Structure 1
Amino acid sequence: MITRVWHGRTSLSDSDRYLQFLLTKGTEDYKKVKGNLSVRVWRKVEHDVAHFYTVTEWDSIDSIKKFAGEQFDKAVYYPEDQGTLLEFEEHVVHYESFQI
C-alpha cells in the first residue's frame, strides 16, 4: 500500500472555508480513481495559519498515476486554491505503508 501526503497552508481566516472545500470538491477526484483505498483530511491550527494535509492510501503507484499523472510526485492544485493557499508546494510525499 502507498500513502500519499499533500500539505498546504492557509490564513486562519480562510481555514474553515478551505476545510469545507477539501471535504467536498477538493477530495472528490481521489475517490473516483480505482485503486484509491482511503481519503483523510487533517488540519492543524498554529498561531495565525492552518496547515492542511490530505492523506490518501492507494493500492499502487499506477493507481496514483491515474489521479496525478506520470509525474505522480507533483502536487495537484485546483482553481479554488488560488488566493487561499499561502504557497504552492511543488511535491507531495509518498510512503510505503503496512497494515498490521
Structure 2
Amino acid sequence: MIAREWKATCPKKHEEGFIGYLYETGVKESSETPGFLGAQIFQRDVDEGVEITLITYWEALECITAFAGENIDVAKLYPEDAHYELVPDRHVNHYHVVENTWQR
C-alpha cells in the first residue's frame, strides 16, 4: 500500500468551504480511480491560517499515475483553488505503508 501526502494552507475563513471543495475535487476524483483504497483529511491551525493535509491510500504507484499523471511527485491542483486563497504544496510525498492497524 502507498500513502500519498499533500498539504496546503488557507485562511481560517475558508477552512470549511475548502474542505468541502476538496471532497468534491481531489477526494472524489481519487475515489473514482482504480486502485484507490481510501483517504484522510487532517486540519490544524497555523500562523498562516489553517493547514490541510490530504492523505490518500493506493494499491500501487501505477494507480497513482492513473490519477495524477506521469510525474506523480507534482501536486494535482484544481481551477477553483485560488478562490480559497490556497497556498498549496506543489510537491507531494509518497510512503510505503509498513503497518496499518486501526483500533476503535
Q: What's the TM-score once normalised by structure 2's chain length?
A: 0.86
Shift, 1:47, TM fit: 4.2
Match of residue 2 from structure 2: 2
- Aligned ranges for residues 35-74 of structure 1 at < 5 Å? 35-47=35-47, 49-74=49-74
Equivalent-residue separation in structure 2 for 1:21 and 1:4 (angstroms): 19
Q: 1:12 maps to what in 2?
A: 12
Judge conservation of contact 2:7–2:88 (CA < 8 Å) in 1: no
What is the count of residue pairs matched by the alignment? 100
Report what 1:30 is aligned to.
30
Percent identity, aligned pairs only, is 26
Unaligned runs of at least 5 residues, structure 1: none
Three-state SS of the structure 1 residue aligned to 2:90 is coil
- Once the two structures are superposed, residues 25-45 of structure 1 have per-residue CA deviations (whole angstroms, 9 ceiling, x without a partner) of 341000011001111111112
* Letter aligned with residue 64 of structure 2: I
Q: Could you tell me the TM-score, scaled by structure 1's length?
A: 0.90
Unaligned segments of structure 2, at least 5 residues: none
Give the distance between the partners of 2:21 and 2:83, measured in 1 at CA. 13
CA RMSD, 1 decimal: 1.5
